[in-house]
Each structure stands twice: as structure tokens, then as C-alpha cells.
Structure 1
Amino acid sequence: MKHEDSTLKVKQRVSDEQRRQVLDLRRRKSLREVAEATGLPLGTVKTLVSRSGAFRDNEQHRALFTLPPIKPSADTLPSVPELPPQQVVTGDKEVDAVLWLHAVIRTGQAALIERAMEAAKRIKTPLGVLEKRYRDHLTATNPGNLFAALSSFGFGDLEAMAARATEDHRLRLEGVSRFGGALMDDTDAEAFCIDALRGLEVSGRFGDFDKSQVADRFNAHPDLMPHTLADCLYELDYWSRLYWLRNAVDRDASDGPAEATARDWFVFGLLAEIRPRDKAEALAVFRYLVASDRDDMAESEAIMLNLIG
């Protein structure tokens, strides 16, 4: 009985403000540090954090930032496109033959690409030599244009070209399977971002939104905030996959609305604020930094410090 009375007294001493303080501090500090900062017993802090549910993955958040499922669609891409016609481009038969192989590879069709790679083996002149001849042609036919020769770079790297074309084709098929003909339309997640940042003005050299204003707007929607680092990685993966699905279709229209970009960077910044729940979660964030090529961003040092505590 005395134990129950003691527990009740402890519970009664925890005010709503203390609860909010505990949850706010827990996003940036360890449980022990929160206990020290608030003066509450470690066990009480653990109980408050556990019962709040604020540090479990946010399923409502994940539901919004999830791509549509893959499903059969009537809007399918042609399974076997027509073989591109051979054309006289430079007048150099060998160079034009390689340019035709480029066109075949760009179809993204594995069977056609395989035939193109076999045909490339029958070209006697080294591809490096043909690349120089093509570059000379571009320079001669575009006098005064310093950038004309740029399109010749990678001319002979057919394997890399084939890998990119195959992946782009796979992504185009996936985009159709997930979105039908609506891949370029605003998703529900993008619509949320647009609505949340409505009225904010862009500024600065690159036309960005003010970061503090962006944070205030998104923080005003706690039901759609990441609760964990795993939630952050889940959402960042959503934005990345959406970008690449669109990029495979139209490289000039793959970024989406500016509000979505602001959200992506906002969530990236949260990797420096939300404490890892365990070593596995910290390691997942570290691997993300390396794989995403974001390890040299301004926020990266703060993220690393957050991971190592």
C-alpha cells in the first residue's frame, strides 16, 4: 500500500509542463540526460517517454509518405519498341554506326541492348579513336561554340550507357505501374507540403524558404512529423524514389514543387535533432549519409554528433 501511495505521489508531482519538457528534451538527449535536466527520477522519465508513444514510429506519417503500390495498368509502355532507323549524321560510317548503337541502347530494352553490345564488338577501330573523330566533327560543324564537343564525352562508354538506359527503363515501368498517367501530378505528400507552407515567400540567392519559418509550419502538424530517425529515413527515401521515378521520364521535371524540396531538407535536418533509439538506428543514418552523398552537407557534422551522442 505504501509503495502504491509513493508511486501516486510521484505521478502527481509530474505536471503537464514537465511532461512536455521531458518529451522535448528526449528528442535531443539521452534518457539519463533528460532525468538530470528535469530533476525527475530516471524511471519516471522512462515511463513518461514510453507511454507518450512519441518515440515509436509514426504510422500516420508513414502512410502519407508512401508511394502507391505497384499494380497492373492499362497504360503500359511498349514492350518491344521499333528499332531506331540508321541515319547519316557525320558521314563517317563507323562514327554513325556507334551513334546508331546509342539510339538502340536508349530504348532501354534488354534484348535490343544485348544485340547492340554484340554489334559493338565488330567495330574494328577503338572506340576512343572514334570518340575523338566525333568530337572533331562537332567542333568543325559548330565553330565558336565552346560547348559543342561536350556531347562527345562518354561516346565510347557503351556499357555505362547501357546500364543507365536499362535502369531508366525499369523506373519508367515502375512509375507507370504505381501512378498510371499521374506520375507528374502532385502527390498527397506534396499537396500537404504546399498547403503547410502556403503564404511563405522565397528569398536569398537560390530562392529558398526561410528555414525557421519552414520548421514552424511543419512542426504545427505533429501528427505528420517523424517521431524517430527511422521515420526520417523512411520519408527521405520516399522523396528520393519519387524523384528518380520522375527523372527517368523527364529530367527537367523531376524535382517537384519547391515546398516538397523544403520538406526534404527539413526532415534531413531532423537527423541532427532526433536521438537514435539504439546503435542499429544510428548506423542506418550513417549509412544513409554515405549512400546519399549528403555526408558533406552543412548539417552533416551536427548529424554525426547526434549519432555518437
Structure 2
Amino acid sequence: MQALFEVILPVFLVIGFGYLAAWRKWISENAIDGVMHFAQNFAVPTLLFTGIAGIDLGETFHPPLLLSFYAGAFSGGLFAFLGARYVFKRTATDSIAIGFVGLFSNGVLLGVPITERAFGTDALAWNFAIISLHAPILYAVGITLMEVVRSTGQGLSALSLIRQITTSVLRNPLILGITAGWFVNVTDTSLPTTVWDAVHMMNSAAIPAALFGLGGVLRRYRPEGDMRMIVWAITASLIVHPLVTFSLAKWVFALDTNAMRSATVMAAMAPGVNAYLFASMYGVAKRVAASAVLLGTAMAMVTGWFWLSVLP
């Protein structure tokens, strides 16, 4: 119970404050959009840049860690996709978007602050190792599958399809921040102290702004559509993903405690707003994705507490 009040509740109070401010019209929708635009396109990319530029690749870029997390992610995505396609008889494009809900956990806006509050700043190195591949891999897979399905019968060449997929992935500011962090880390580039000071100032605003903006954005969503489909997608995200990740981390790869904590907490987070943005980008399954993000974020307060109580 202590973890619920001291670790998880403060994070969700900031989200709730953003939700309340939007609901009571204390802040306009345009202002919320501005906060989210700042957070997602500027502050959070600099946070990812800093984290990835500073991690020890030899220690934290650990294949068993990544296998544990991403096996869980793809298990959740496959569970959501198969349910949508063959249990609920959704179209192929709808099913891919719903699969993305089970695939893309909110590791940046929820996983990072909860891990930091629970286990300290030093524990974040493992989170950043996971995040360094998170958006590039999952967006690449989701966009590739969607573009392949949508291009069927359109006569697009393989080269055109690859160019279309690459352009869509590389336009994402989070991926640009991650790429810059990789470049600085691998090349051991030294940046002036004044630059780092400016980056750290941006970093200090990233999580509070993102959480507040997330609350404001969630206010727009309504739990609509097929509730059974929504519950299925949330189950993929909040149960299948962390269960597979924790099982592999503990009993197959026997990861050390710090790595197992980060992998499991990141896996246990609710579907990210990116799941809705992905569905919106293609105009499919938007109600299911939006409802899953809203309800999943609320439920993550309880499931996150459960996983923190299970972890050593």
C-alpha cells in the first residue's frame, strides 16, 4: 500500500490535475494541445536524448533485458490483434491498430516517473536502454504492417513502400531525440557545458508537462465502442505484456533485480497516447484506441501497484 501512495499516486495526481483543469475549462483545449506539443516534440525528446547519451551501453544494453521486454510487447500486440481479427471480426486495418494498443505501453510518460520514484534515478538506465529501441522498433513494425495491408492492390513498388515507411518513422520527434542520443553516445561526442545546462532545463519540464498534458488530452476521450473489444485490448497491455516480460526476466533469463524491475514496470504501463495517435493517423479503430488509453491509464494505477508489490 505504501508504494501506491508514495510512488504511483503522485504521478496520477498530476494526470488528474490536467484532466480536472480541462474538464472545468481552467485551461483551453488549444492550450492543452500546446502543452502536449511542447512536451512530446521538444521536452521529452531532449529527456530521451540525455538518458540515451549517458547510459553505459556495455552494462545496460543487455540482450536478455531487451528480449524480456519486447517478447512481452509483441505477445501483447499479437494477443490484441488476433482477438480483434478472429474473435471480434474487425477489419485487417482495425486489427493492426488495436494490436498496436497491446504493443505500445506508455513507458516514457508513466514508466520512467514511476521507476524513478520507486527505485531512484540510477535505476533509469535500464529504462532508457528499453526506450532507445521502443519507438523505432514498434512504430516501424506498426507502420510496415499497416502500409503493406493498405497498399495491397495499389501497385506500389517495394522501393516506394520502403520510402513511405521510412519517412513516417523518421518524422517522429521522439525518434529524432533517440537517434541524437545514440550518436552522442556511440561517437563519444563532447558537448559544451552550456548546451548540457540548457538540455537539463528542458528535461526538468518534460515529465510534469507531459503528465499534465496527458490528463488534459484524456478528458476528450470517451469510453465508447465495443466494450468487450476495449477490455480485450487493455488486457493485452496490462496483463499479457507484463506477465510475459516478468516471467522471462525472472525465470528464463534470471535478470538481476534492477533490470527485472525496469523491464516489468515499463511493460506494466497502460497503452500510450501514441496508440491513439497511430489509429488516428490511419483513421481506423480510433474509438477503441482512445477508450483503451483512457481506461487503461486509470486501471494502471492499480495494476502498477500490484507489480511494484510483486517486484523485490
Assess same fold via TM > 0.5.
Answer: no
Using structure 1 for the length normalisation, give the TM-score.
Answer: 0.24
Using structure 2 for the length normalisation, give the TM-score.
Answer: 0.24
| More helix per residue | 2
Q: Which has the higher contact order (CA 8 A, sep 6+)?
A: 2
Larger Cα Rg: Structure 1 or Structure 2? 1
